[in-house]
Amino acid sequence: MRIDVLGVGFDNVTMAEAVERGMSLLRSEGAHYVVTPNPEIVEVCRENEAARAVINGASLVLPDGIGVIKGAAMLGTPLKERTPGIEFAAHIVERMAGEGMSLYLLGAKPGVAEKAAENLKKQHPGLVIAGTHDGYFQEDSPVVEDIRKSGADCVFVCLGAPKQEFWMAKNGSATGAHLLCGLGGSLDVFAGTVERAPKFWCDHGLEWFYRLCKEPKRIGRMMKLPLFLVHVKQEKRKK
């Protein structure tokens, strides 16, 4: 059963359980996609019914931000823990490397996915990099065809939300991959072009503040966080 936070249903799993679920999807027939919404995306979903449908249509919906955890707790339906997309991705890469599986990296500015691939391969020699492609393309079909030809087991789709979620829902099956993960800016972190907040900030639920200090232009997007909390309070009153 999923836990509803303002219309988005989150899977109530620990990180270890999320990784197990991801690995079992990877081994099962057909294409499955994973999404990792934060409060900003939940706010997008409140206004965009189509985005809400593709996000709720994922096989695994993981709470990326501390705000979602707080929101669920305020609504009286707590989630077990925060499962950031970047950490989920790192665990999946480790497990895939152990089994010699192949990964395709899609998204970010030209050159970033290649650099991320190089770094991941260095850290996990057992990982097979099936291919890479930047996230600034006009037509889906040549990219889908490239992934299909590569025979990738898994694709990290990093086009920003909700673009990546629409992309996975529409093209997932045609890629031939079993698992597609929508991971926002994760390739920039794997490539080392963007630094993730140090552990202290992450452990104290302040990753968002660290990112804001590093990239002040995110302020407009981050204003969605207080709005999210206002909406959670309204929902709580209704309940």
- Member of 160, 192, 198, 226 binding ligand UDP (CB under 6 A): 160
- What is the biggest distance separating any 2 CA atoms in the chain, rounded to whole angstroms? 53
Closest distance to ligand UDP from the beta carbon of 100 (Å)? 28
Q: Binding to ligand UDP by residue 161, rule CB under 6 A?
A: yes
CA distance 176 to 24: 16
Q: Binding to ligand UDP by residue 159, rule CB under 6 A?
A: yes
Count the alpha carbons within 13 Å of 222 in the hemisphere toward its beta carbon.
14
* Residue of 8, 61, 2, 7 whose CA lies nearest to 36: 61
Q: Binding to ligand UDP by residue 142, rule CB under 6 A?
A: no
Q: Binding to ligand UDP by residue 188, rule CB under 6 A?
A: yes
Task: Report strand pairing: 2-5 vs 102-107.
Answer: unpaired
* C-alpha 21, offset from chain centre: 15
- Member of 39, 135, 162, 172 binding ligand UDP (CB under 6 A): 135
Q: Binding to ligand UDP by residue 42, rule CB under 6 A?
A: no
Q: Binding to ligand UDP by residue 105, rule CB under 6 A?
A: no
Which residues of the shown chain bind ligand UDP in the complex (CB under 6 A)? Answer: 107-109, 135-136, 158-161, 163, 184-185, 187-188
